[in-house]
Amino acid sequence: MSKKVYVGMSGGVDSSVTAALLVEQGHDVTGVYMKNWSQDLPGFACPWKEDYQDARRVAVQLDIPFKMYDFETEYRSKVVDYMVAEYQAGRTPNPDIMCNQEVKFKLFLNTALNDGADMIATGHYSRTEGDRLRIAANSVKDQSYFLYRITADAISKTLMPIGGYATKDEVRAIATDRGLATATKKDSQGICFVGKVGIKDFLLTELGPQKPGPIVDHADRTIGEHDGALFYTIGQRHGLDIGGGLPYYVARKDMATNTVYVTTDLNDATLWSTELTVHDQHWINQPPEPGRTYQARLRYRGPLVDCTIDGDRIVLADEQRGLAAGQSAVIYDGEYVLGGAILNL
């Protein structure tokens, strides 16, 4: 049955193909560019104008209406401010997860529905089945990890048509066959819509230089100096600037004393976790059953690990290395996403 569908068009090939497929399926499609960020950063030009123009070109090719929603104020307060506050507290947040929760599948969805849409659609590599979220056919590109905090109601009003394609090459081939302007455009990188900028550079822009502090090894010796504990995450190897010998890994941080603790021992107990405590749980349809075995993914593209869940406690069947407070544990039941929670450790 034909629906009035508003497609979030980012200017990339995935959302372009999403719009094209829905037009071909007979839906009444409107393209929408979400203007979430437009600020240039030192050495990095925000690509929003180019992305907007690319999305608009595809909309013209498809002969569909096209509009822009300006969400900059909300994106700043709901995503950027959250991310910065988490890093200041010594945690490692995932802004893409918060962007999906607060902007794409809440603000965009509600704005589109109020604007006359029946449903929205996005270029995510995942699948919706009624009010259930399922992993993509393309296991390499699957983005369900970033979507675990959206609601069952939002899922029931969302289409993700490219989630059924097994490879990115298939998606690009669809764009090429239809002559879409974005067919050969490279995938975007960086923080959500901020562009090609590293998290450290972004935090320096937001917070300015941080107070240096000691880097301390497993023998409690000061072996170097860091340029701000908030810039480092558990398990990190690169960027420590400690010369010679075996590589060092960040084992833990003490934000109160501004100290970063490192180890050369990959078997160091502080790097490994089997029992996790979590907070801010979100279950899409129903909570997991205590004692039943599920699968946990603890970082994007990380392995699925068997686990059991009891309240705010997750027990993993296999030890995992380098987990950090603020990251997300996403829980799967086979191919379906149950939801998840944020790590305390």
Q: How many residues does the chain have?
A: 345
Q: Give the pLDDT band (50/70/90) at residue 213.
A: very high
Task: Indicate if the pLDDT at residue 163 is higher than 90.
Answer: yes
CA dist 44 → 39, 71, 198, 235, 317 (Å): 9, 21, 10, 28, 43
Q: What is the mean pLDDT of residues 260-274?
A: 94
4-177: CATH architecture: 3-Layer(aba) Sandwich (3.40)
pLDDT in tens, 193-203: 455 667 888 89
User: Chain-wide mean pLDDT for the chain?
Assistant: 94
pLDDT at residue 45 is higher than 90: no
The kind and range of the H/E element at 86 are helix 81-88
Question: What are the backbone dihedrals phi and psi of residue 260, each rounded to the nearest 5 degrees, phi first?
Answer: -110, 125
Q: What is the pLDDT of residue 190?
A: 55
Predicted pLDDT of residue 196: 61
The C-alpha atoms of residue 44 and residue 222 are separated, in whole angstroms, by: 35
The per-residue pLDDT for 194 is: 53
Q: What is the pLDDT of residue 40?
A: 85
Q: By the 8 A CB rule, do 166 and 137 touch?
A: yes
Asked whether the predicted pLDDT for residue 259 surpasses 60, the reply is yes
Q: Is 140 helix (H, G, I), strand (E, B) or coil?
A: coil
Give the model's pLDDT for residue 192: 53
Write down the domain spans for the chain.
4-177, 209-263, 271-343
239: which 2 tokens? 């960027």
Q: Please tell me the distance from the alpha carbon of residue 149 to that of residue 340, in angstroms, as a whole number.
A: 7
209-263: what CATH class? mainly beta
Q: Which two tokens stand for residue 89?
A: 């507290």
Angstrom distances, CA of residue 42 to CA of 45, 77, 186, 220, 320: 8, 21, 23, 37, 37
Q: Give the per-residue pLDDT at 193.
A: 47
Q: What is the DSSP letter of 241?
A: -
Which residues touch 30 (CB under 8 Å, ≥6 apart)?
Answer: 4, 5, 6, 7, 64, 65, 66, 67, 117
Mean pLDDT of 329-343: 98
pLDDT at 241 over 90: no
The CA-to-CA distance between both ends of the chain, in Å, stands at 47
What mean pLDDT is predicted for residues 107-133? 98
Domain 271-343, classified CATH 3.30.70.260, yes or no? no
Q: So what's the pLDDT on residue 189? A: 62
CA separation, residue 235 to residues 68, 220, 221, 238, 252 (Å): 40, 18, 19, 10, 8
Q: Which residues participate in catalysis according to the annotation?
A: 99, 192
> What global pTM score does this model have?
0.94
